[in-house]
């Protein structure tokens, strides 16, 4: 292995693709006739198949959660800090699975995929999928992998929402549920930011009502603005102060609209980097899935009722400076779980990194994450295997 790959990494990884020929009914009322999921795995599934962990990804990430695709890769997977040998999600112990959500643009079926009915990319005709739909596709992937029950389903941000949905929809198919830097639903302000991002994309003249592939173009300006705005909400005011303050690119004001302040330079870089790396239709779809997520909605807006059928042990983690999904939002989840007497741990990590903290190597966070992961008891399951087989895949 090249020297670029650190020893505590899962190392070189290759994605797999799972094909699903059975039609998938969606929450929106439409049906996806067939689909593919691209996924990666790290570690080894044990003989009792009880050490599997599902990682759910957030808005703009994908199935590449850890390791490297080649020794030339400059960056590892998006959650390299947490997944690997000896890390909180310890690949010496667990078999870790992470798939790209449908509707995505990194290899699973989505707007860029060919619509079998037309032979052209789906584009805007790809149905609006939801967190619940994603969980269904992940359950089918578990069936293919012959994983009856996840030892844990884990996610941050939109990924945490998928973990929560798992606990509601498949209570017998996960032992532990990790909901990190998430919320039981988006606030009006959260939706408002998503709406501005979507309007930026949709009103871009290069959007062509979502059919931009046909014109060999993309709504690059809109996507750039959406990403810039996203980054503001990922960082706290304090983190921005610490990172950029009012630092200037040059020695004094230039009196122009070019980059004057370091923070402008950072945002433009992030926005421009996103162009060509991410699909605008997917960005629309992912933000809408966020807006729609609201498990309490079908329970008269009673989150406690929504969580009443859950069986998992819950681990909720929030970050003090996260203003996208603040600790107060996580506490709503904790309260609803305690209403149901669920086994629940809650940690509020002091961190000034904002929402992005969930991706970062923060000692208190890593310690708490590791301590919670140590609660996962593979031995119990083995001893109780005869009972366990009653939890057949649905």
Q: Name the site residues for a copy of itself (rule: CB under 8 A).
A: 27-29, 127-128, 185-189, 191-193, 195-196, 198-200, 202-205, 221, 224-225, 228-229, 231-232, 235, 237, 240-241, 243-246, 253, 255-257, 260-264, 267-268, 271, 284, 288, 291-292, 294
Residues designated catalytic: 157, 322, 355
- Please identify, using beta-carbon distances, which residue of 221 and 311 lies nearer to a copy of itself: 221
Please, what is the minimum distance in Å from the beta carbon of residue 122 to a copy of itself? 15
Q: How far apart are CA 36 and CA 21, in angstroms?
A: 9
CB of 161: closest distance to a copy of itself in angstroms?
15
Q: Which helix (H) or strand (E) holds 31?
A: strand 31-32
Residues with Cβ < 8 Å from 224, sequence gap 6 or more?
A: 271, 272, 274, 275
Show the tokens assigned to 273: 């980097």
CB of 128 to a copy of itself, least distance (A): 4
Nearer to a copy of itself, 45 or 191 (CB): 191
Whole-number Å distance between alpha carbons of 111 and 124? 7
Nearest to 302 by CA among 328, 347, 344, 340: 340
Minimum CB separation of residue 201 from a copy of itself in Å reads 9
Task: Round to whole Å and give the CA distance between 126 and 102.
Answer: 10
Tell me how far, at minimum, the Cβ of 181 lies from a copy of itself, in Å: 16
DSSP 335-346: HHHHHTT--EEE
Long-range contacts of 239-242 (CB under 8 A, 24+ apart): 239/321, 239/352, 239/353, 239/354, 239/356, 242/352
Q: Per residue in 88-99, is it b (16+ CB within 10 Å) or e — as a string?
A: bbbbebbbbbbb
The C-alpha atoms of residue 242 and residue 371 are separated, in whole angstroms, by 30
| Residue closer to a copy of itself (CB basis): 40 or 279 | 279
- Please, what is the minimum distance in Å from the beta carbon of residue 293 to a copy of itself? 11
Q: Any bridge partners for residue 71, and if so which? A: none
């Amino acid at each position: 292995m090249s020297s670029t790959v650190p020893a505590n990494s899962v190392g070189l990884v290759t994605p797999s693709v799972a094909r699903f020929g059975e039609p998938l009914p969606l929450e929106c009322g439409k049906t996806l006739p067939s689909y593919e999921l691209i996924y990666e795995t790290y570690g080894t599934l044990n003989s009792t198949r009880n050490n599997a962990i599902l990682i759910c990804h957030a808005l703009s990430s994908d199935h590449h959660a850890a390791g490297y695709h080649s020794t030339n890769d400059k960056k590892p997977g998006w959650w390299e800090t947490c997944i690997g040998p000896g890390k909180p999600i310890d690949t010496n112990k667990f078999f870790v699975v992470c798939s790209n959500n449908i509707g995505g643009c990194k290899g699973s079926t989505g707007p860029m995929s060919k619509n079998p009915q037309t032979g052209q990319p789906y584009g805007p005709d790809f149905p609006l999928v939801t967190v619940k739909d994603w969980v269904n596709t992940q359950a089918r992937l578990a069936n293919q992998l012959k994983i009856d029950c996840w030892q844990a389903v884990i996610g941050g941000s939109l990924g945490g929402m998928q973990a929560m949905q798992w606990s509601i929809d498949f209570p017998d198919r996960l032992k532990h549920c990790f909901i990190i830097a998430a919320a039981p639903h988006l606030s009006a302000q959260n939706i408002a930011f998503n709406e501005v991002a979507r309007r930026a994309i949709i009103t871009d003249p290069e959007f062509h009502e979502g059919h931009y592939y046909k014109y060999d173009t993309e709504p690059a300006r809109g996507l750039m603005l959406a990403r810039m705005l996203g980054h503001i909400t990922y960082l706290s005011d304090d983190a921005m102060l610490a990172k950029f303050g009012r630092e200037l690119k040059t020695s004094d004001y230039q009196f122009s609209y070019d980059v004057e302040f370091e923070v402008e330079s950072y945002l433009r870089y992030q926005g421009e980097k996103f162009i060509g790396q991410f699909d605008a239709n997917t960005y629309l779809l992912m933000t809408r899935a966020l807006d729609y997520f609201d498990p309490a909605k079908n329970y008269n807006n009673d989150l406690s009722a929504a969580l009443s059928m859950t069986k998992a042990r819950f681990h909720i983690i929030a970050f003090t400076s996260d203003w996208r999904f603040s600790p107060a939002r996580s506490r709503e989840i904790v309260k609803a779980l305690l209403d149901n007497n669920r086994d629940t741990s809650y940690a509020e990590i002091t961190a000034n990194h904002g929402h992005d903290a969930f991706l970062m190597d923060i000692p208190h966070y890593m310690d708490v994450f590791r301590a919670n992961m140590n609660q996962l008891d593979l031995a119990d399951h083995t001893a109780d295997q005869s009972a366990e087989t009653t939890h057949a895949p649905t």
